[in-house]
């Protein structure tokens, strides 16, 4: 008999940035495992497509246009979820951007923008989720899509990314500690480089130095980049009762990248 603890039947999940990439893969993965989903994105047609795919699995799905940079749009996203489903059990904070520049060339506004869309939106969405999960100890699972960049430095103009994801990681730990008594679990997934459409566009652009690919792969013992689909199993696990004692965890989904010492090697 299949393991029931991974079953997300009758759970409602919100996934931000679910029109493409990792967010879309996770939203559809949660739906395949039984969850009804509210998916938001700045790109309305793409997120409607995600909702349509979830409905084709027999799940209920609502697509909402929402730019998480704007607090009023986050409030509207949760109000819409209340109106359609009346509850929320799972929140996946997925949206994240970076401004790739040398630290000495960064404007204050670059960092502010990345933090607004990243750590600050993650914080606000988590608060909105808390207000719905805490009463009567309903509980819930919050999953933040962080990065290996939140745990170690990458260099190469990644300061905004690292500072933002470092903030997301600490937010994850603090909320996990504060909200454990409400039965709300808060965890983060730390991917290595993931071959999303957006990442592929960067690989194909003139600004990408092809030598970097060798660099990426030499840091990943599994010897490949991740796919959005690699994030689905870990997200379903963290969302489900199978992870009932897991909170405050920063889970690398990185093919061994964070396990590898900078002076180490997986080729010899």
Ligand X SMILES: NC(=O)c1ccc[n+]([C@@H]2O[C@H](COP(=O)([O-])OP(=O)(O)OC[C@H]3O[C@@H](n4cnc5c(N)ncnc54)[C@H](O)[C@@H]3O)[C@@H](O)[C@H]2O)c1
Q: Where on the chain is the footprint of ligand X (CB under 6 A)? A: 16-17, 19-23, 40-43, 46, 66-69, 94-96, 117, 145, 147, 191, 193-194, 196-199
Q: Kindly state the smallest distance separating residue 211's Cβ from ligand X, in Å.
A: 18
Identify which of residues 22 and 232 has a Cβ nearer to ligand X in the complex. Answer: 22
Q: Kindly state the smallest distance separating residue 130's Cβ from ligand X, in Å.
A: 20
**Residue 19: left if φ>0, alpha if ψ -120 to 50, beta else—which one?**
alpha
Smallest CA-to-CA distance from 146 within 46, 41, 5, 251 is with 251
User: What's the token pair of residue 55?
Assistant: 């409905």
What is the spatial distance between Cα 72 and Cα 250, in angstroms, rounded to a whole number?
29
Q: Kindly state the smallest distance separating residue 154's Cβ from ligand X, in Å.
A: 10
What is the spatial distance between Cα 97 and Cα 198, in angstroms, rounded to a whole number?
11
What is the spatial distance between Cα 152 and Cα 155, in angstroms, rounded to a whole number?
10
Identify which of residues 14 and 88 has a Cβ nearer to ligand X in the complex. Answer: 14
Q: Can you state the percent helix, strand and coil of the chain, rounding each to 5?
A: 50, 15, 35
The residues facing 226 across adjacent strands are: 194
Identify which of residues 5 and 224 has a Cβ nearer to ligand X in the complex. Answer: 224
Q: Kindly state the smallest distance separating residue 46's Cβ from ligand X, in Å.
A: 5
Identify which of residues 103 and 198 has a Cβ nearer to ligand X in the complex. Answer: 198
Identify which of residues 146 and 180 has a Cβ nearer to ligand X in the complex. Answer: 146
* Cβ–Cβ under 8 Å, residues 163 and 118: no
* Cβ–Cβ under 8 Å, residues 130 and 180: no
Q: Kindly state the smallest distance separating residue 61's Cβ from ligand X, in Å.
A: 16
| Total Cβ atoms within 10 A of residue 227 | 13
Identify which of residues 131 and 201 has a Cβ nearer to ligand X in the complex. Answer: 201
Residue whose tokens read 């600490």: 170
Q: Kindly state the smallest distance separating residue 73's Cβ from ligand X, in Å.
A: 8
């Amino acid at each position: 008999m299949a393991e029931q603890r991974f079953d997300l039947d009758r759970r409602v999940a919100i996934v931000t940035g679910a029109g493409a990439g990792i967010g879309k893969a996770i939203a559809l993965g949660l739906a395949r495992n039984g969850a009804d989903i509210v998916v938001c994105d700045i790109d309305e047609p793409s997120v409607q497509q995600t909702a349509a795919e979830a409905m084709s699995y027999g799940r209920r799905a609502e697509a909402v246009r929402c730019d998480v940079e704007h607090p009023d749009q986050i409030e509207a996203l949760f109000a819409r979820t209340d109106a359609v489903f009346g509850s929320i059990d799972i929140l996946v904070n997925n949206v994240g951007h970076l401004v790739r520049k040398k630290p000495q060339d960064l404007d204050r506004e670059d960092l502010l923008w990345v933090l607004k869309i990243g750590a600050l939106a993650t914080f606000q969405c988590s608060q909105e989720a808390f207000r719905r999960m805490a009463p009567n100890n309903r509980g819930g699972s919050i999953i933040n899509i962080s990065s290996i960049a939140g745990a170690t430095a990458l260099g190469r103009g990644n300061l905004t990314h690292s500072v933002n994801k470092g903030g997301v990681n600490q937010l994850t730990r603090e909320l996990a500690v504060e909200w454990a008594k409400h039965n709300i679990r808060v965890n983060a997934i730390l991917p290595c480089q993931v071959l999303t459409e957006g990442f592929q566009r960067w690989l194909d652009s003139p600004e990408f130095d092809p030598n970097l690919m060798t660099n990426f792969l030499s840091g990943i013992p599994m010897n490949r980049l991740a796919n959005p689909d690699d994030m689905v199993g870990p997200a379903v696990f963290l969302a489900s009762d199978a992870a009932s004692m897991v909170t405050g965890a920063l889970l690398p989904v990185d093919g061994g990248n964070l396990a590898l010492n900078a002076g180490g090697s997986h080729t010899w």
